[in-house]
Amino acid sequence: MRRSVLKAAAIPAGILLLSACSQPAEDTDGPVENLSIATGGTSGVYYPIGGVLAGIIESESEGHQASVEATGASVENIRLIDSGDSHLALVQGDSAHQAITGRADFEGEEIRTRTLAVLYPNVFHAVTLDSTAESEGYECFSDVVGTRYSVGDIGSGNETTTNQVFESLGIDESDVEIDQLGYSETATALQNGRLDAGSWVVGEGHSGIVELGTTDDIAMISMCEEELDQIVEGEGDYTEHTIEAGTYPGVDEDVTTVATWNALVVSEDFDDDQAYDITEAVFDNIDDVVGAYAPGEEYMVPETVQNAPVPVHPGAQRFYEEQGVELSEDIQG
């Protein structure tokens, strides 16, 4: 596992890596005093958000400590919750949904997490260079068949989403020359001509795509209407999404795609009162969370929990009911 631990108290002054491994989680029978938050890579959005959450927990919960772990993100994070090595985790909704139904990366192992909060959507970006888009004739996403495509790092939420998109569209692994690269490696491979396109399943305005767009002419591959229908109606609980023109350098037209919601999750047996207290503290300090990812501001409100990928924890549900948010039956804890 690729993990490092960051102490919450270090967040305001700067990120400080303290250790390459975490301590075993405490018994979850009752409130946990030393909370571990599983996030993602240090260059992504999950990591700084996790740092802010850790700081909120320490400042709002007397006698509690929190640390944030850099991990391989969603799939690993869900397993860390299941093993008890982490207490809270930031995950993509499609990964959480697959885990609770025992599909894809979780085939044969149903892992049931519960939602504390839904934060913002991760958007599916199919990125290529403008010259490649022209030479390959990319008009709809399925045009990547027969080309070289990076689905994301091994075991990442990026890979999970891309594989599900392929499955919903009936694209087999043998139909595409697949590579499994992280974001920076994908950008380099596009520049070197070793790839034709690749996925970034991230929040809008991702710095890696912006940086690539400032050095190279980039293009986004839109999903055509029939493709959108197949993906939204398929597995993964995806929603349609539009990346507005101008979001990235050189991308001057709207891009139609899909998104999956990012959620803060815990185990089923997480203490009810502690779940309530953490959820309340997060929304009492939501401006701090927005500070870690400004594009998510419009989404970071209690009502967004209606997009929960797995049922809401009973403790958190009590908070939302107090806020007047009505939860559908399928997401009630």
* DSSP secondary structure, 125-137, as one string: EEEEEHHHHHHHT
Residue entry with tokens 């034709």: 196
Give CA–CA dist 254/60, Å, rounded: 42
The three-state secondary structure class of 324 is coil
The pLDDT of residue 29 is 66
The whole-angstrom distance between residue 268's C-alpha and the CA centroid of its chain comes to: 20
Considering the entire predicted model, what is its pTM? 0.81
Give CA–CA dist 259/233, Å, rounded: 13
The pLDDT of residue 43 is 76
| Helix, strand, coil content of the chain in percent (nearest 5) | 40, 20, 35
Give CA–CA dist 122/259, Å, rounded: 5
Residue entry with tokens 């139609």: 256
The pLDDT of residue 291 is 96
- What DSSP designation does 253 have? S
Residue 103: is it exposed, middle or buried by C-beta count within 10 angstroms (0-12/13-18/19+)? middle
- What DSSP designation does 44 have? S
Residue (of 282, 299, 215, 217) closest to 52 by Cα position: 282
The pLDDT of residue 3 is 42
Residue entry with tokens 């919750």: 81
CA distances in angstroms from 99 to 92, 112, 120, 313, listed in the order given: 11, 7, 20, 16
Contact 243, 219 (CB under 8 A): no
Give CA–CA dist 317/147, Å, rounded: 46
Give CA–CA dist 253/245, Å, rounded: 4
Contact 232, 215 (CB under 8 A): no
Give CA–CA dist 161/278, Å, rounded: 28
Q: Render the burial of 162-171: b for 16+ CB within 10 Å, e for the rest.
A: bbbbbbbbeb
The pLDDT of residue 237 is 82
The pLDDT of residue 8 is 40
CA distances in angstroms from 103 to 61, 99, 174, 231, 281, listed in the order given: 36, 6, 21, 16, 33
Residue 256: is it exposed, middle or buried by C-beta count within 10 angstroms (0-12/13-18/19+)? middle
Digitized pLDDT (tens) for each residue of the chain, 333 residues in all? 434 444 343 343 333 333 334 444 444 468 899 999 999 888 788 999 999 999 999 999 888 899 999 998 889 999 999 999 999 999 999 999 999 999 888 998 999 999 999 999 999 999 999 999 999 999 999 999 999 999 998 878 889 899 999 999 999 989 999 999 999 999 999 999 999 999 999 888 888 999 999 999 999 999 999 999 999 999 888 999 999 999 999 999 999 999 999 999 999 999 999 999 999 999 999 999 999 999 899 999 999 999 999 999 999 999 999 999 999 998 997
